[in-house]
Amino acid sequence: MQPDQIRHFFAIMKAGNPTPVSELAYSSVFELLVAVLLSAQATDVGVNKATRGLFAAASTPQKMLSLGLEGIEAQIRTIGLYHSKARHLMQTCRILVERHGGQVPRTRAQLEALPGVGRKTANVVLNAAFGEPTVAVDTHLFRLGNRTGLATGKTPLEVERKLLKRIPAEYLCDAHHWLVLHGRYVCKARQPLCAQCAVRACCDYKSKT
């Protein structure tokens, strides 16, 4: 995908969805962090169902610690890997209270130091909560980057670095949401909906279909 095609690609994305947002339900930076931490190997729909009750019971790190491990597990048991996720969440909340005054830190290093928080989760929080021009490469973005020619790479980090270089600056803050939604609903893994794709003319994959 050439630079002019990339610019056209994101212009179309913006025209179709000027203010994209995450499909995870949250009302604070802390709730976003929790939702993304719980979302590994789970759908946003499944996470939202679990966090509805969890956030009603505990919407701050302090309240989450008071809920306790068993209380958290009871709320999120419908999510895969809930035992380890509950443990990581408890550990993360303890660090937030003891080291950050109960607030979610704004730097990558501090975020990635939290149990259960890797680069992808940190990128989501930095982008969605703090407006940082980051791109969190999940399975959707990794597939889409390689399939379309937007950013090819053998690892998520390689794709992320290429995306940051290739996406025009004016589109970078919203690019993550556009690409996730496009990968989730149009550029699907097994049967991409190329005939319905608004950006097909910009895509390298069209010549193979």
Q: Which two tokens stand for residue 137?
A: 């490469």
- Among the listed residues 59, 113, 68, the one whose alpha carbon sits nearest the alpha carbon of residue 90: 68
pLDDT of res. 208: 52
- Chain position carrying tokens 């719980």: 38
- Among the listed residues 21, 32, 184, the one whose alpha carbon sits nearest the alpha carbon of residue 117: 32
pLDDT of res. 80: 86
Domains of the chain: 3-21+133-208 (1.10.1670.10), 29-128 (1.10.340.30)
pLDDT digits (tens, 9 = 90+) for 100-156: 999 999 999 999 999 999 999 999 999 999 999 999 998 989 999 999 999 999 999
pTM over 0.85: yes
**Dist CA 165 CA 9 (whole Å):** 15
pLDDT digits (tens, 9 = 90+) for 5-33: 999 999 999 999 999 989 999 999 999 99
**Maximum pairwise Cα distance, the chain:** 56
Residue range 165-171: mean pLDDT, rounded:
95
Give the residue numbers annotated as catalytic, written as ranges: 120, 138
| pLDDT value at 196 more than 70 | yes
| pLDDT value at 169 more than 70 | yes
